[in-house]
Amino acid sequence: MSSKRPPQSTRRPPRWPAHLEYLEQPRYHASVSSHVRELLSPTLTRHTMSAQTHLQKAPVAIQLISDPSHPARGQYGLFATKKIPPRTLLIDYIGEVHCDDRPESDYDLSLYRTPDHVSVGVDAQFCGNEARFINDYRSVKIKPNALFQERRTESGELRMSVWSGSEPIKKGEELLVSYGKSWWRAREQKS
């Protein structure tokens, strides 16, 4: 039997939903021009460095939210599987890197804006990794305990990553970021 879909990673984490594709590396959409690709991941480093691009296993697990007071009950969230020190790199936000507009996606993060004003996003609506399950802190906790911040991998590729905040995160605690006011404003406009 032949399939036109690219092969899926075999390392699907527990509770990964069957209808979503699991990715260990970013996927570049056709809307990303070679010029933009060069800015995100320079050829020189792409070809000369070994591709040590993914992190050690992240200390996180996907869990169904059953707490009736949680605003995302019935959905999933991402939880710490061990105590995490402050300001620690946890996991990259992996998905489809794109330059087209994705107004309908609730899983689309802004990654970069080029000097000539092209916006680059990472959309994990249909394919991605555990980081797509991180919820916003609003109505859950007083403040976020994690944040999104970009980094360059050892091979030079620009990625959006999740880091712990200024306090340690306890084992079993839910990782919560701030999606930002513009994300919530855009969501209000959709509904």
Closest separation in Å from C-beta 74 to ligand SAM:
9
Choose the stretch contacting ligand SAM; rule: CB under 6 A; options: 26-34, 42-50, 94-102, 134-142: 134-142
In angstroms, rounded to a whole number, what is the distance separating the alpha carbons of residues 135 and 96? 19
Interface residues for ligand SAM in 157-186 (CB under 6 A)?
Answer: none
Q: Does the protein bind ligand SAM through residue 79 (CB under 6 A)? A: no
In angstroms, rounded to a whole number, what is the distance separating the alpha carbons of residues 155 and 120? 19
Q: Does the protein bind ligand SAM through residue 21 (CB under 6 A)? A: no
* Chain centroid, CA 131 distance in Å: 4
Q: Does the protein bind ligand SAM through residue 61 (CB under 6 A)? A: no
Closest separation in Å from C-beta 63 to ligand SAM:
10
Backbone torsion region of residue 94, taken as left when φ is above 0, otherwise alpha when ψ lies between -120 and 50, otherwise beta: beta
Strand stretches in 93-133, DSSP E: 96-98, 108-113, 119-123, 127-128
Of 7 and 74, which has the nearer Cβ to ligand SAM? 74
Is the CB of residue 32 less than 8 Å from the CB of residue 22?
no
Q: Does the protein bind ligand SAM through residue 108 (CB under 6 A)? A: no
Contacts with ligand SAM by CB under 6 A lie at 71-72, 75-77, 106-107, 132-133, 135-136, 138-140
